[in-house]
Amino acid sequence: MANRFEAMGPGTGWELAQAGDLARDDAEVGIWDRDVLGGRLTWDRRTAELHGVRLEDFGGTMDDFYATIHPDDLPKVQEAVETAIAEHGSYLSEYRVVRPDGSQAWIQGIGRIVANTGGRSARVIGLVVDVTWRRAMVDILQRAILPQTLPQVFGIDLAAHYLPAVRDAGIGGDWYDANVLPDGAVLLVVGDVAGHGLPAVAAMAELRHAARAYALAGYSPAGITTQLSANLAPDPDATTATAVVTHLDPATRRLTWSCAGHPPPLLVTGSDVHYLDDVHGPLLGVDPTLSYGQTALSVPPGARLLLYTDGLVERRDASLTDRLDLLADVAADHSRLGLGDLCDGILAEVAGDADREDDVCLLAVQAP
């Protein structure tokens, strides 16, 4: 599509919107053209259908377009459009529309700015396509890959939560796993693949299954992160990921972990909380020859360990330090609760329901 846009000259978008080729009623792709200076937005019939509007009823303004977008997705779309116009660039955005029958559809819109001879943004030409099926497929795959149940281990409590993003950035590559190893130790892993969509989900599946296989084969946490990184490094798409891999021996309460560019685990001991902030190597996939390190310590009886992805603590409008402090404070405030209630409190007060732009995984364990 990018090459197609590159070939378009000023005014071509209008001609395409009126054409009987891609603009025919049964076309999968809708075409539109916006006159930035004149304020007129022209849709073809397919674009109107995708937005749940009869072409004859479409008012031809950006306000009419914005009125079709789900309120939770509207700020993201407006920001993308305004930034593209200001920078004379292009944008790609996915958003929900609510159709007259109450059904929702996911639409992917692509727009490219065309400047006039004076260098001002004069037109925007673009395409829209229904991607509901693709998003549903990726979501199903992601949920199928994540564990449906957690192992039962005598003396140990486990809790896990996955929350999708509220403000859509595409289906993410956040994942977790928990498994009992042959020596009785418990494997706990949380990771996050860079990017979104089907490639991220595919890489997530590969990493999760590989980490479990290496653990069952007797690899240490450092050995697992080292091998996972080596596996990703030859990827022609330059896929990277973060992960923290932990072993907890219930008999000795010995905790061993290896952190590969991932947010630090949080150890909660009574009302005392502190981060295990040793970083044992960079992102997975950066260097296939790198050997990752690991750290071990004995945790007190009843200590809780929280592993999570960056969607829990990262926000555009707040520093990471402040967000990590918030997580620690909330964990301390809820430290007297059971493990499940502790996680619920953290998700409610730290993750929240508004402006969460990334998926969240939270995996928690309480030692004997």
Nearest to 358 by CA among 327, 324, 308, 312: 312
Nearest to 25 by CA among 68, 62, 54: 54
Check residue 5 and give its pLDDT: 30
CA-to-CA separations, 159 to 12, 150, 323, 363, 366, in angstroms, rounded: 56, 8, 22, 6, 9
- Give the containing element (helix H, strand E) for 69: none
By DSSP bridging, strand 304-308 and strand 360-366 are: antiparallel
In angstroms, the CA 214 to CA 292 distance is: 15
Q: Which residue carries 């007060």 as its tokens?
A: 349
**200 versus 57: which is more confidently predicted?**
57
Mean pLDDT of 97-113: 88
Task: List own/partner pairs for 120-123 with CB under 8 A and 24 or more apart.
Answer: 120/37, 121/36, 121/85, 121/86, 121/88, 122/10, 122/35, 122/36, 122/37, 123/10, 123/11, 123/13, 123/14, 123/33, 123/34, 123/35, 123/36
201-215 per-position pLDDT tens digit: 778 888 999 999 999
278-309 per-position pLDDT tens digit: 999 999 999 889 999 999 999 999 999 999 99
172 within 8 A of 207, measured Cβ to Cβ: no
- Above 80 in pLDDT, residue 23? no
As to burial, measured by CB atoms within 10 angstroms (0-12 exposed, 13-18 middle, 19+ buried), residue 278 is middle
Torsion sign (Cα): 255, 259, 265, 270: positive
- Above 90 in pLDDT, residue 195? no
- Give the containing element (helix H, strand E) for 164: none
As to burial, measured by CB atoms within 10 angstroms (0-12 exposed, 13-18 middle, 19+ buried), residue 176 is buried
Confidence class for position 93, pLDDT limits 50, 70, 90? confident
DSSP state of 36: T
367 within 8 A of 303, measured Cβ to Cβ: yes
By DSSP bridging, strand 29-35 and strand 172-180 are: unpaired
CA 155 to chain centre: 33
Structural domains of the chain in order of their starting residue, each with its CATH number: 2-132 (3.30.450.20), 141-366 (3.60.40.10)
Mean pLDDT of 221-243: 88
241-270 per-position pLDDT tens digit: 999 999 999 999 999 999 999 999 999 998
In angstroms, the CA 204 to CA 207 distance is: 5
Nearest to 65 by CA among 48, 82, 80, 85: 48
Highest mean pLDDT among 151-160, 161-170, 198-207: 151-160
Residue type, 69: I
CB atoms within 10 A of CB 348: 12
In angstroms, the CA 355 to CA 99 distance is: 24
Torsion sign (Cα): 26, 29, 35, 41: positive
DSSP state of 55: G
Report the share of the chain in percent with pLDDT over 70. Answer: 86
